[in-house]
């Protein structure tokens, strides 16, 4: 049995027009949302799978940013340490010059006493540099009483999954003690000569200090390289995230105009369809 089109109970034309208008309004709302947020996928209702991936990527970016902040803190500690040891190295060179004079048996009397005092003053400077080589309450070399910072090694988080990079300590106390010669030692020319030979204690400590400068310099470069890598990775993650969820605003703008026209036409079509049953009244006049 075929339903009559001339019915006041069922308006097929209005139902079709309304369904079309509802569809247009739904698409228009989605397009306006994309334009206003800038995202094709702004929440789980837009595309649940893509949104879940986006949230994971955002989490990775946040974690990498935090790792770089921690690495930056350690970079400060390493820079302070390298600066302190560099100044120690410079003072050791000055101290070696004094020891060469003290190794000469012709250096006697007041002159020798003055050179001894000069050496001891340089060593006191070295002690201060070791004590002051702290950063943010930590020190890699300051285990001498009065040091600025807690002495200890560092294991810093370097990436988003919690992997660490370790930096060892260097005993500033032991180093200072090894070059803090007594007046009695410095008063004997032959004793001082033995200290500055290639196998002597003082020259050996020059080599030890050079090794530590190289070690901490390499650690500082490692931290710089890791921060640079993390930044590159953050850029790559953000680029991938954009490709996944960002809206094509040029496309969405064109689509918006098209949908607005369809909405207007749909509204007019629904209005016309709603008026159709009124024509049946003329049959009863």
The 10s digit of each residue's pLDDT in 212-245 is: 999 999 999 999 999 999 999 999 999 999 888 8
The 10s digit of each residue's pLDDT in 109-158 is: 999 999 999 999 999 999 999 999 999 999 999 999 999 899 999 999 99
Q: Are residues 276 and 166 in the same domain?
A: no
The 10s digit of each residue's pLDDT in 33-51 is: 777 777 788 888 888 999 9
In a domain, 14, yes or no: no
The pTM for the full model equals 0.78
In a domain, 200, yes or no: yes
Q: Are residues 130 and 265 in the same domain?
A: no
Q: Are residues 54 and 104 in the same domain?
A: yes
Q: Are residues 262 and 182 in the same domain?
A: no
What pLDDT is stored for residue 284 in this prediction? 67
Q: Are residues 61 and 153 in the same domain?
A: yes
Q: Are residues 277 and 230 in the same domain?
A: no
In a domain, 8, yes or no: no
Q: Are residues 239 and 262 in the same domain?
A: no
Q: Are residues 151 and 223 in the same domain?
A: yes
Rounded Cα gap, residues 254 and 273, in angstroms: 29
In a domain, 258, yes or no: yes
Residue-range definition of the domain harbouring residue 270: 249-285
The domain that holds 182 is classified in CATH as: 1.20.1330.10
What pLDDT is stored for residue 1 in this prediction? 45
Q: Are residues 210 and 139 in the same domain?
A: yes
In a domain, 36, yes or no: no
In a domain, 216, yes or no: yes
In a domain, 179, yes or no: yes
Q: Which residue has the higher pLDDT, 264 or 250?
A: 264
Q: Are residues 159 and 201 in the same domain?
A: yes
Q: Are residues 75 and 215 in the same domain?
A: yes
Q: Are residues 255 and 116 in the same domain?
A: no
In a domain, 168, yes or no: yes
What pLDDT is stored for residue 141 in this prediction? 96
Q: Indicate whether 55 pLDDT > 90.
A: yes
For the chain, what is the domain count?
2
Q: Indicate whether 2 pLDDT > 60.
A: no
């Amino acid at each position: 049995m075929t339903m009559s089109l001339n019915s006041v109970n069922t308006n097929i034309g209005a139902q079709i027009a309304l369904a079309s208008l509802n569809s247009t309004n739904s698409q228009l709302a989605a397009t306006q949302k994309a334009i206003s947020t800038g995202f094709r996928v702004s929440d789980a209702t837009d595309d649940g799978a893509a949104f879940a991936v986006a949230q994971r990527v955002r989490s990775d970016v946040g974690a990498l940013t935090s790792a770089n902040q921690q690495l930056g803190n350690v970079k400060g500690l390493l820079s302070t340490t390298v600066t302190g040891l560099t100044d120690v190295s410079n003072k050791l060179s000055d101290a070696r010059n004094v020891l060469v004079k003290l190794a000469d048996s012709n250096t006697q009397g007041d002159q020798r006493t003055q050179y001894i005092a000069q050496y001891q003053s340089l060593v006191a400077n070295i002690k201060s540099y070791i004590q002051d080589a702290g950063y943010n309450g930590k020190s890699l070399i300051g285990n001498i009483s009065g040091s600025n910072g807690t002495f200890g090694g560092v294991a810093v988080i370097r990436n988003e999954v919690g992997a660490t990079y370790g930096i060892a300590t260097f005993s500033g106390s032991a180093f200072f003690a090894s070059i803090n010669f007594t007046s009695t030692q410095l008063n004997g020319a032959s004793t001082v000569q033995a200290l500055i030979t290639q196998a002597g204690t003082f020259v050996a400590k020059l080599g030890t200090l050079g090794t530590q400068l190289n070690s901490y310099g390499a650690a500082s470069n490692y931290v710089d390289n890791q921060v640079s890598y993390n930044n590159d990775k953050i850029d790559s993650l953000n680029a991938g995230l954009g490709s996944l969820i960002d809206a094509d605003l040029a496309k969405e703008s064109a689509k918006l105009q098209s949908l607005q026209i369809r909405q207007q036409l749909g509204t007019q079509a629904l209005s016309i369809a709603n008026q159709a049953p009124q024509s049946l009244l003329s049959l009863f006049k």
